[in-house]
Structure 1
Amino acid sequence: MTYDARAALAAIDDHTVVVLAFFAVVAVATFTYLVSSFRTAYQDRAYSCALPAVGWFAVHDLGFVLQYDQWFHTYDHWWVKGWWVALIATSLIELALVGLVVRYGHAELAPHLSRKVFALGVWAGVAAIGVLWILVKRSIDDDLYLISFPITAFWAVPFGTALMLRRGSRRGQSALQPACVAVIVVGFQGALWFVDDFFRSWEFLTFTVMAVGWSLANIWLIRTLPAWSRSAPDVPVPVEAVAR
């Protein structure tokens, strides 16, 4: 067992002020990340979140929203009810980010396909990610999504690295995005520290350090790449260039 859900909610009641303070930081960082993602996407006419990451965001948060009965009847606790309300808006925003993959990804990823076929493929991909998420969710002991929330935020980082290396420029990316992910993960670590021993374990602490370190590496990578120009095509970054 990772943590006991009832005991975790009781611990949140016992440390309400400090837990809410950390989650306020998480909320601000999440909102900033989403705004930055839309801004850079429209500015560079390129999706800013790769489909595997933003699709995971959307199905994860939508999955939480769809479990209304569990939050309002099974647990009936202000904490999960508050998350339910917040994630309604977040899910819609994340689905809109998937829409940016449809809008800008066609020319970049599959110009040989019709726009309709490409759009159907993107949404089919989201459905497939949903199936994977259901399998993962039923395989882990995480009733309150306390483990999956920071892991979900982290997925933006490796796929952000992949986007930058493939494009060979800062197109669709900004240093603010990985910086926000680092703050989100640290915020979760701070809040959950008071909730259960599991979140003070070496496994969870190592995850936090790894996620922050990779986020900082992405900030460095962004700063080494050239700014994107409409007149210059994307050129993938050679592996040896990154090594240097």
Structure 2
Amino acid sequence: MYDRSSVLQSLDANAVAFAILFGGLTAFMFAWFWLVIRKAARERQYSVPIGAVYFWLAHDGTAALGIMEWPGPGSHWFIMFLRCAFIPATVLDAVLLAQIIAYGRGELAPWLSQRVYAASILAGAAFITANWLVVMHALHDDLHFISMALTIALPLPLITATLWRRHACSTLSPLAWTAYTAMVVLYFASTFTLGGYFHSWPWILLAAVSCTWGIVLIRMIYAAPPHRVQQSAVATRPPS
């Protein structure tokens, strides 16, 4: 695990390079939010897997509410920036969850009433948040570098599974997930400026797998049909 004081010193020593990369990923993040929320509202179908939204809401929400630690006077500039960025991110996470409640019952749980379905979604969010607090307490990841890597990498296999299940890109905007992959690349690139733990082989492996998966995902989304193709009801005769 990284040493907090060493990382903060590295942030100050490499402030320009880190700020450019981290600022770029923040811009891509909010562009991604806008694209997926707009696409889901237009298609009336949720865009982001529920598991990913749960983890984002737990991570961003607990940080925005100051449950882990709110920066006080004299706090490092990165901590101040990070906590402030979590506030709008939490609001947008909540919008994604609201879209799952509004548009997702037919796909996820058509046998439930809308009221029971909505209550189940909210109960799931509370459950994941409670678990997330335990994990964060155990990690002592007060600068959120480990947790941000996990919440950035997690949606990639989940969105791949959604694409395969739907057999179409549907609400999975190619432009949105291109922006997301750019965010992934810039995030790991920004951490490489800090040295130490962020030059270890597990971290480099996670970066390589996440960036590669993002690129492959973009290719699959561009190749997928916009809507699910209905198979013909007429069975073809097997060759004799």
TM-score if structure 1 supplies the norm length?
0.88
Summarize deviations over 1:37-81 as a string: whole Å, max 9, x none.
Answer: 112212321100111101111110111122278342397222111
Pairwise CA distance, 1:132: 2.1
Summarize deviations over 1:201-236 as a string: whole Å, max 9, x none.
Answer: 1111111110111111211211222112xxx6778x
Q: Which residue of 2 aligns with 1:144?
A: 143
Residue type of the alignment partner of 2:85: A
Residues 1:129 and 2:124 aligned together: no
Question: Would the aligned equivalents of 1:68 and 1:84 in 2 still touch at CA under 8 Å?
Answer: no
CA distance in 1, matches of 2:94, 2:209: 28
Pairs aligned (count):
231
Summarize deviations over 1:88-130 as a string: whole Å, max 9, x none.
Answer: 1110110110000001001222222111110000111111111
Residue type of the alignment partner of 1:73: G
CA distance in 1, matches of 2:22, 2:203: 17
Residues 1:14 and 2:1 aligned together: no
Q: Which residue of 2 aligns with 1:100?
A: 99
Residue type of the alignment partner of 2:30: F
Change (3 A) 1:20 1:47: same
Residue type of the alignment partner of 1:93: L
Residue type of the alignment partner of 1:22: L
Q: Which residue of 2 aligns with 1:78?
A: 77
Change (3 A) 1:69 1:218: closer
CA distance in 2, matches of 1:233, 1:103: 25
| 1:38-77 superposed matches below 5 A | 38-67=37-66, 70-73=69-72, 76-77=75-76
Identity across aligned pairs (percent)? 26
Question: Would the aligned equivalents of 2:22 and 2:187 in 1 still touch at CA under 8 Å?
Answer: yes
CA distance in 1, matches of 2:124, 2:104: 13
Gaps of 5+ in 2: 232-240
Change (3 A) 1:69 1:112: closer
CA distance in 2, matches of 1:117, 1:75: 47
Pairwise CA distance, 1:168: 0.9
Question: Would the aligned equivalents of 1:50 and 1:159 in 2 still touch at CA under 8 Å?
Answer: yes
Q: Which residue of 2 aligns with 1:225?
A: 224
Q: Which residue of 1 aligns with 2:207?
A: 208
CA distance in 1, matches of 2:160, 2:129: 23
CA distance in 1, matches of 2:190, 2:46: 31
Question: Would the aligned equivalents of 1:58 and 1:94 in 2 still touch at CA under 8 Å?
Answer: yes
Q: Which residue of 2 aligns with 1:118?
A: 117
Moved more, 53-62 or 69-78: 69-78
Moved more, 133-142 or 97-106: 133-142
Q: Which has the larger radius of gyration?
A: 2
Residue type of the alignment partner of 1:184: M
Question: Would the aligned equivalents of 2:69 and 2:142 in 1 still touch at CA under 8 Å?
Answer: no
CA distance in 2, matches of 1:145, 1:132: 16
Residues 1:109 and 2:90 aligned together: no
Q: 3-state DSSP class of the match of 1:47?
A: coil
TM-score if structure 2 supplies the norm length?
0.89
Change (3 A) 1:210 1:69: closer
Change (3 A) 1:75 1:234: farther
Extract structure 1 runs of 4+ deviating beyond 3 A. 232-235
Q: Which residue of 1 aligns with 2:35?
A: 36
Q: Which residue of 2 aligns with 1:242?
A: none
